[in-house]
Structure 1
Amino acid sequence: MKKTYLAALVVALLFVLWMLSGQIGTDGERAPAPSLAESRDSMLRQREDSPMAVRVRNLDAELQRALIAVRGRTEVNRRVAVRAETGGLVAALPVEKGDVVRAGDILCRIDAGSRPARLEESREAVTVAELEFEGVQKLEQRGLVSATGVATARARLATARADLRQRELDLSYTAIRAPFDGIVETRPVEIGDFLQAGQVCAEVLDPDPLLLAGQVSERDVARLQIGDPGTGRLLTGERVSGVITYVAQAAHPSTRTFRVEVAVPNPNASLRDGITTEIQLPAEEHLAHHVPSSVLALDDLGELGVRIVDADDRVQFVRIRVIRDTADGLWVTGLPETVRLITVGQELVVPGEQVRAVPEAERPLPIDMSETPTRLDATAATRSGGDDGAGQP
């Protein structure tokens, strides 16, 4: 019985030693996995003999103006809450909300009450004071009235005239008028309401010109000048253009941005206040290239750029800066004045790789792009090749 246990123990030890010998042998024979740089170099060497074909577009730089994009909103040129200057009952409301008014049109009329009677009383008082003053002047010429009497009569006349003027104004204040041409936005009173001096009769807006108002950063504010053109695309779909009429001298205390306003003609009041707007403000001019957005890529540091083909038919990655966005591409700076831009196959090549550049005007590429391995596939193939020598015992 003991011999059976001993034999089983020997077999188990031999099996364990056999397994350990396989692991040790594997660790000693397995080649280290190549790095990404080594895999890329290996792939480049494999492609030197048969360069990959890529489609290129020949581009020449053009003079283009950079655009500063600002998110903002529309604002009316003026907004005034027209207030009563005297108190009384509202007797008439000649306008409604939304009505177009001209400067001087009556917005609210307050009941005159006893004001006309007091005005007539003041006129009579002025007449009496004038007659008294004339009589005193005649008596002064005859030496019958002292200088003090003349001064007193003159003061009474001035007081009567001032009282008359005050009552004329008080009566005129019963007609509350529009201060400028515009649109009645609100009218918070109704006939029969009692208006006190200082209360709002109506709010009037001046929509022409309409303002596109936004905030620009500290970096961009120095690039703007009053009188420069500006455009806007409203959320409602309209596209408008105007000129910069205001650039703030002081930054907003919280955001450290500067207010800018673009005045846009709005004679028919078709553009409304408070609509979200994308404002584009032209800045300085640059030599730039127009590239499709599909060719943009990022380098190892996360910088934006494109891949081009140099004079030696090798791929180069060039960092760019976008200065303008259009419906069919981007205007960018940072490229040589004349450049061959890779437009097809840029994802399959790496900087430094030898390629065969095929202009867009020629026939289709002589390769099947769907069958061409990517860099990741090539790297994986290289790494798997390094594992071929490591086998299980």
Structure 2
Amino acid sequence: MTTEKHDTDAAARQDPAGPERLEFESDRGASRSTWLAALLVLLIVGWMGSGFILPSEPEETPVSRADPEPVAVAVTTSTAQSVTQFFQAEGQALPDRDTSLRAETSGDVTEVLVTKGEDVTAGQVIARLNSSSNEADARRAAEALVQAQREFDNAQALLERGVATQDRVTEARAALATAEAQVTQTEQAAEALTITAPFDGRIETLDLDAGEFVSVGADVGRLVDITPLTVAIQVPQQSLTRLEVGQPATVRFITGEEREGTVTFVGTSAASETRTFLAEIEVPNADGVIPAGISAEVIIPTGQVTAHFTSPSVVSLDTEGALGVKTVNADNIVEFYPIQVVKAQIDGIWVTGLPETVDVITVGQGFVNAGEVVAPAAQEMSGE
């Protein structure tokens, strides 16, 4: 502390005027630095405002892609042919005639002349009832008729001689008519005592024994006629117009028998439960080999139609669910045609809805759609 004070005093003695004052003049270097800093700030602000804060990625050059190759499909040329169209249905064989045998009067059975299962002819006696009461009634009616006839003759003779009146003749005529009606009634009752077959047929059931009493109207048996047979089928509404009386038909019975028949009836009123129409086919059965009640398949040719034969594997569905076939036209473009199956066989189907000649896609149809361009290759396909 003493040393510093000593140095100060010495300096004062050396410079009697005292310490110098520091003065600054204008510094050009400092001014230049200010302008450089301002310019640098402006450059940074401009650079940031231009949006190039980060270097942008180079734009990708679009890559050109080649069009896809057409799908390869196999096709076969199909030409329409004339084919017979058939209506096919399942049915049941029925007897041509089937009736119940009934007693027309009451009485005791005296004899039964046939047995169940026996073939009978029209008018053949099946059974007889006791006729004792009827015979007595017949004798009384005959005597009453003789007496009425005598009285009428007398009244008529007296009227001609002027002794009797016209009223007496009229009364005698009425009594005669009553006696004649009584005789007719007893004759009919006598006929009712005999049960006969109304037509040729077979006794299917017979509930009748000698000595038993039967009441008027009681069922005593059943008579059926299976020569010919009648096969009944049900026809859908859409197929009704294809059938008509007189058409030939092939009938295949479940027993293995096959017979040719004829359509004899086509109904005009649909069943309320099924909306189908009854049709009947008459089948000859003179030998009686085919029994009634068995199942049968009926095939009826209904005309000619122009159709294509193809395999079921080429059939497909469009986006709306319609059944159809995909084809290729002359420009190799896929086309879809809705079809209708008109006949089915073991080896293929016959369909309508296609042009007369067409290239049908047989392989690859599941991978292409209508309107697409394809590369078709010919393929052979057998058919009838």
The TM tier, using the shorter chain, reads: 0.7 to 0.9
Partner Cα distance (1:276, 1:184) in 2: 22
Structure 2 residue identity aligned to 1:135: N
Residue 179 (structure 1) aligns with: 198
Structure 1 residue identity aligned to 2:157: K
Pick closer, same or farther for the CA change 1:240–1:295 going to 2, 3 Å: farther
Partner Cα distance (1:95, 1:296) in 2: 63
Question: TM-score when scaled to structure 1?
Answer: 0.71
Residue 80 (structure 1) aligns with: 99
Partner Cα distance (2:360, 2:258) in 1: 33
Which piece of structure 1 moves more, 310-319 or 269-278?
A: 310-319
Partner Cα distance (1:327, 1:129) in 2: 84
Map 1:65-104; keep pairs closer than 5 Å: 65-104=84-123
Partner Cα distance (2:258, 2:313) in 1: 26
| Structure 2 counterpart SS, 1:76 | strand
Structure 1 residue identity aligned to 2:353: G
Gaps of 5+ in 1: 1-41, 362-393
Residue 230 (structure 2) aligns with: 211
Matched, 1:145 2:153: no
**Distance apart, 1:199 and its partner CA:** 0.6
Residue 184 (structure 2) aligns with: 165
Residue 358 (structure 1) aligns with: 379
Partner Cα distance (1:178, 1:64) in 2: 49
| Structure 2 counterpart SS, 1:114 | helix
Structure 2 residue identity aligned to 1:93: V
Which piece of structure 1 moves more, 111-120 or 170-179?
A: 111-120
Q: Please, which of 208, 211, 214 is the counterpart of residue 195 of structure 1?
A: 214
Gaps of 5+ in 2: 1-65
Pick closer, same or farther for the CA change 1:310–1:359 going to 2, 3 Å: farther
Conservation of the 8 A alpha-carbon contact between 1:108 and 1:201: no
Structure 1 residue identity aligned to 2:93: T
Residue 133 (structure 2) aligns with: 114
Residue 282 (structure 2) aligns with: 263
Conservation of the 8 A alpha-carbon contact between 2:95 and 2:230: yes
Structural RMSD (CA)? 2.8
**Distance apart, 1:285 and its partner CA:** 3.6
Matched, 1:283 2:302: yes
Partner Cα distance (2:237, 2:330) in 1: 40
Conservation of the 8 A alpha-carbon contact between 1:295 and 1:346: no
Conservation of the 8 A alpha-carbon contact between 1:245 and 1:261: yes
Residue 256 (structure 2) aligns with: 237
Give 1 or 2 for the bigger CA radius of gyration: 2
| Structure 1 counterpart SS, 2:308 | strand
After superposition, what is the alpha-carbon deviation per residue over 1:205-224, rounded to whole angstroms, capped at 9, x for unaligned?
A: 12233222122222222333
Partner Cα distance (1:106, 1:46) in 2: 90
**Distance apart, 1:202 and its partner CA:** 1.6
**Distance apart, 1:118 and its partner CA:** 2.3
Conservation of the 8 A alpha-carbon contact between 1:309 and 1:316: yes
Conservation of the 8 A alpha-carbon contact between 1:308 and 1:315: yes
Matched, 1:226 2:245: yes
Residue 36 (structure 2) aligns with: none
**Distance apart, 1:168 and its partner CA:** 0.8
Partner Cα distance (2:359, 2:102) in 1: 68
Partner Cα distance (1:276, 1:214) in 2: 10
> In percent, how many aligned pairs have the same letter?
36
Conservation of the 8 A alpha-carbon contact between 1:210 and 1:265: yes
Residue 12 (structure 1) aligns with: none
Conservation of the 8 A alpha-carbon contact between 2:75 and 2:359: no
Which piece of structure 1 moves more, 189-198 or 213-222?
A: 213-222
Map 1:289-308; keep pairs closer than 5 Å: 289-308=308-327
Structure 2 residue identity aligned to 1:217: P
| Structure 1 counterpart SS, 2:179 | helix
Which one has more relative contact order, counting CA pairs under 8 Å at least 6 apart?
A: 1
Residue 22 (structure 1) aligns with: none
Partner Cα distance (1:310, 1:335) in 2: 12
Partner Cα distance (1:290, 1:210) in 2: 36
Which piece of structure 1 moves more, 240-249 or 174-183?
A: 240-249
Structure 1 residue identity aligned to 2:154: G
After superposition, what is the alpha-carbon deviation per residue over 1:302-353, rounded to whole angstroms, capped at 9, x for unaligned?
A: 433345454456665543211122344322111221234455x457764543
Which piece of structure 1 moves more, 294-303 or 115-124?
A: 294-303
Structure 2 residue identity aligned to 1:202: G
Conservation of the 8 A alpha-carbon contact between 2:75 and 2:376: no
Structure 2 residue identity aligned to 1:182: G
Structure 1 residue identity aligned to 2:275: R
| Structure 1 counterpart SS, 2:164 | coil
Residue 17 (structure 2) aligns with: none
Conservation of the 8 A alpha-carbon contact between 1:107 and 1:202: no
Structure 2 residue identity aligned to 1:69: Q
Question: TM-score when scaled to structure 2?
Answer: 0.72
**Distance apart, 1:288 and its partner CA:** 1.1
After superposition, what is the alpha-carbon deviation per residue over 1:26-65, rounded to whole angstroms, capped at 9, x for unaligned?
A: xxxxxxxxxxxxxxxx9x94566xx56x473x54322334
Structure 1 residue identity aligned to 2:118: D
Partner Cα distance (1:350, 1:238) in 2: 49
